[in-house]
Every structure is written in C-alpha cells, then in structure tokens.
Chain A
Amino acid sequence: QKEVEQNSGPLSVPEGAIASLNCTYSDRVSQSFFWYRQYSGKSPELIMSIYSNGDKEDGRFTAQLNKASQYVSLLIRDSQPSDSATYLCAVNWDDRGSTLGRLYFGRGTQLTVWP
C-alpha cells in the first residue's frame, strides 16, 4: 500500500514568518517528489520538485528530502498572505511496474498567512 501522509492543518502563521509543511511516505522505492499549491476552487499548480536527498531552493521556497527517514518538507520563508492555500505533496514510486507515471497525493495541508 503506497501512502502519502500530510498534516491537514490548518497551519496558521503571521506574515513574514517561516511556514513549514511536512510529508511522509510509506515506501522506500521512491523517485520523484513534488509540491503543488492549490488555491480554493482552483487547480493544483506545481511549485517545487525534488529528486535527491538534501535541500533545493527556489526563491522563497525550499524543499528538503530525506529518503532514509521517508519524509519531504517544504519551507516557505517570508510568508505572505498570498501564500494562503492548500499545499499538496505528491510522490512517484519508481518500481518500473504498475505505478509507472503515477503520482500519489497526500490530502494536503491548509496554510493561512495572516497579516
């Protein structure tokens, strides 16, 4: 059973703070990890991808991957009210079999950034 777990939140942080979003997954045979942002009533939008252990930074966003501990996180620095959205963690299991091309999503963490 391939599972992706996220805290549903809501996570509430003040403007300018660091928001930390966490995601754990169930199987070590993993390859690709993605973070999507979804505003209410809108479609998921890709904001970060990470494939190797360590940190990957893109502007105010940093993704962190630890395959040994089976978790991936997203840090948002200098949080803005416009960052208020649901953040979805997605994992691809590269077992070169039935899961080819599939993404497994967590239920999402709702983030609110208050001014």
Chain B
Amino acid sequence: DAGITQSPRHKVTETGTPVTLRCHQTENHRYMYWYRQDPGHGLRLIHYSYGVKDTDKGEVSDGYSVSRSKTEDFLLTLESATSSQTSVYFCAISPLPTGMDSNQPQHFGDGTRLSIL
C-alpha cells in the first residue's frame, strides 16, 4: 500500500469551528489531492498540490483552504465548518500528474469521516 496516513480518522465537531485535516505521505510524491465523497455525488476534487507551496482549486473548493509547507504533508482546513461539509474526505497522491503522457494513477489514503453538528 502507498504510504499515506490521514488524521484524524474520525471527527465530530460543531458548526462554526475551524477544522484541519492532515495527509502525510512517505512516498516523496509531488502531487497530492483532497477529495470529498458524498452519497449521490461520488468523489469530487477540493484542492490539489503540485509541489511545496504550489496549490490550486478543484471543483468544490469554496469554504476550504489548503497548505503544503513540506513535500510529505498536505493540510486541508475548514475555516468555519458548516453542516454541508459533513462528508468523508480522502487524500490521494501521485508521483506525476495524471495524464500529460504520464498516465500516473492516484492512490488513496484511508479517509477521514467528518461530522459537523
């Protein structure tokens, strides 16, 4: 299995509180991704990173921010959590961008189940 650790694995918090999820990888991969998975929507990209301090938005980035100060860590922050952000969050990594002639797949961490009351 790809060396990806997500923390925490489960979290329950209240509306309006800040929340930070961590993704840690030991593969030294350049590309890291944050997804959320909801019933009826499948996996949707929130933000991704293509290097230290290099990040970009995905399809559902509103209400989320990210940071990547080291190759191995990619943090996802909910500045003021809302009930609509209750979801399962997955981190994924790849050594090169998927596509662009590299055809590199993404490998996923075990996920964080976040409940916002």
Stretch at the interface among B11-19, B35-43, B69-77, B79-87: B35-43
Interface string of B58-99 (1 = CB under 8 A from A): 100000000000000000000000000000001000100111
Main secondary structure of the interface of A (DSSP, over half): loop
Say yes or no: A32 contacts B43, CB within 8 Å: no
Compute how far the CA of A42 lies from the CA of B111 in the bound complex, rounded to whole angstroms. 8
Interface string of A90-111 (1 = CB under 8 A from B): 1011101001111101111000
Within 8 A of A (CB), among B41-62: 41-45, 48, 50, 58
- Chain B nearest CB: distance from A83 CB in Å? 19
From B50, B94, B100, A96 is in contact (CB under 8 Å) with: B100
Compute how far the CA of A58 lies from the CA of B72 in the bound complex, rounded to whole angstroms. 32
Q: Verify if B7 is at the interface (C-beta below 8 Å from A).
A: no
The interface of chain A, by Cβ under 8 A from chain B, is 31-32, 34, 36, 42-46, 49, 51, 88, 90, 92-94, 96, 99-103, 105-108
The interface of chain B, by Cβ under 8 A from chain A, is 31, 33, 40-45, 48, 50, 58, 90, 94, 97-101, 103, 105-111
**Pairs A-B, 4 closest by C-beta atoms:** A101-B97, A92-B99, A107-B42, A94-B99
- Additional pairs, 4, CB under 8 Å, beyond known A42-B111, A94-B100, A105-B44: A32-B105, A46-B106, A102-B98, A105-B42
